[in-house]
Amino acid sequence: MGTDQQLTAPAPQPERTGSLAKGKLGTFDIVFFVVSAAAPLTVAVSSAPLAFLVGGIGAPGAMLASGIVLILFAIGFTAMSRYVRNTGAFYAYASAGLGKPFGVGVAFITIAAYGALCLCFYAMLGFFANLTVSHLYGVDLHWAVWSVISVAIIGFLGYRRVDVGAYVLGVLLTLEVAILLIIGIAIIVQNGDSLAVTAAASFDPRNVLFASGASALFVFGFGAFLGFEGTVIYAEEAKRPRRTVPRATYIAIAFLAIFYAFTFWTLTAAFGVDGIIALAQSADLEQMTFIAGNNALGAWAGVVMEILVVTSFFACTLAFHNACSRYLFALGREGLLPKPLARTHPSLHSPFVASLTLSAICLVLILIGAVSGADPVLGIGLVSYSIGVAGLVFSQGVAAVSVVGFFWKDRRGHNVWQVVVAPILGAVGLLTAFTVIATHFDLVSGLTGPINYVLLGCVPLVFVGGIVVAIVMKRRAPNRYAALTQSVSVIDTDELEND
């Protein structure tokens, strides 16, 4: 394993494009971006009931097991983050570890996945905003109106400094986590006698790894961690990135794994081992978390959750918008996309052209969906979500392999476990997760029939297309090909001493 050309830190040269704001984000700022992208409340409301329905009682354990796999990946991922820093994270990692063609391929599929998820969450946000406002206030506006308003607000926040968005996410994330914790604690207090029984069933390996629905459980398990890889996207804007990025990665993954497992388990405790499965199989499936909240705290909890589901979608949309904007910026800087995308605001240092471009694209697609009469959930949301989930998990798997490639010949002072064994285990886990998602794609897309092959086929098609673009560029435009990765900082061990 290795690169087709040794990457080195670029020599000083006149700045041709803008630069992102340096030293603006601390550890918890980055954690807010990443955990908000995962959207804990929406996972509890939407994914938990489906996980219990198709996977069984081991859903809490599957969340914990998925987190363990991602921690294995993060061990090598964060070690590499000390040496490779670029806002086009997976592009930089794959280029440094596997070669430029793989870097371009993974960059294309990652940006397509992020873009698809932005579209998905705008549509879902509009749908739930319409549902909540209509139910609570009797005002019935078309879902697209709310989506368009969200595009405008998120576009404004994306235009501003990155730390402004972090403050917003910090508030929204705290609220959604708080309501789930309060409900969970109330359930524990009210069901103390049965906690041991439900815990034993929830985390029994036989119900997690060997149940008939185990594969389905991990489809939802890995889908619940979407966006955790975003920690390295903010390396160029982080304070002391050598320490900030690894800390943020571990904190985000550990928090999500423990919080998801806790939330899913408390749902089990609320209804009992048999009751949770019976509820999942009933017509009240989609109301599972709301019913648990109402029973534990009263009707006000359900109302609060209705509102916070909307803000949760807003938070994850903002997080993915910021991540996607930075990929557009990075690929514009590399010359793989139009150069104007690499412009930053002269005073705010935000990737404002990339941000506004993404907002414009999402706005057009939302309006097309509205005019055509597409269903915001089934016609836009789940279709784009399925492409995004498959694309991101695939990219994570390639990134894990890239870590192994980067350290294969030179461990740079790290032990074998950190940069070889753990990354290999993480890569096996993530590529297995992609295989499970691919073979159970109907659970992700909510669709049946050949359309699933078309949607899933987008992932390898875009990835291979990116590789072909790089190979053709190498033959027909060798100077442009040689210039690729010039913005990727590959730092040697000596330089780290002064970092």
Q: What is the CATH number of the domain that holds 453?
A: 1.20.1740.10
Task: Show the DSSP H helices in 84-213 as ranges.
Answer: 89-98, 100-137, 143-159, 162-190, 195-203, 205-208
Q: Which domain holds residue 221?
A: 32-496
Which helix (H) or strand (E) segment holds residue 70: the answer is helix 59-81
Per-residue pLDDT of the chain (499 residues; tens, 9 = 90+): 444 544 444 444 434 456 776 777 888 888 888 898 888 999 999 899 999 998 999 999 999 999 999 999 999 888 888 888 777 778 888 998 999 999 999 999 999 999 999 999 999 999 999 999 999 999 999 999 999 999 999 999 888 766 666 778 888 889 999 999 999 999 999 998 889 999 999 999 999 999 888 898 999 999 899 888 778 888 788 888 888 888 999 999 999 999 999 999 999 999 999 999 999 999 998 899 999 999 999 999 999 999 999 999 998 999 899 889 988 998 998 889 999 998 988 887 788 899 999 999 999 999 999 999 999 988 899 899 999 999 999 999 999 999 999 998 888 888 999 889 999 999 999 999 999 999 999 988 888 889 999 999 999 999 999 999 999 999 999 998 888 876 665 665 545 555 5
The residue type found at 344 is T
Q: Which residues pair with 84 in a beta bridge?
A: 490
Whether 22 is covered by a domain: the verdict is no
492, 494, 389, 497: which is closest to 96 by C-alpha?
492
Whether 27 is covered by a domain: the verdict is no
The structure tokens listed for 452 are: 């699933």
Q: How much is the pTM? A: 0.87
Whether 18 is covered by a domain: the verdict is no
Whether 6 is covered by a domain: the verdict is no
Whether 225 is covered by a domain: the verdict is yes
Angle at which helix 48-55 crosses helix 214-223, to 10 degrees, equals 160
Q: Which residues pair with 489 in a beta bridge?
A: 85
Number of domains in the chain: 1
Whether 14 is covered by a domain: the verdict is no
Whether 1 is covered by a domain: the verdict is no
Whether 67 is covered by a domain: the verdict is yes
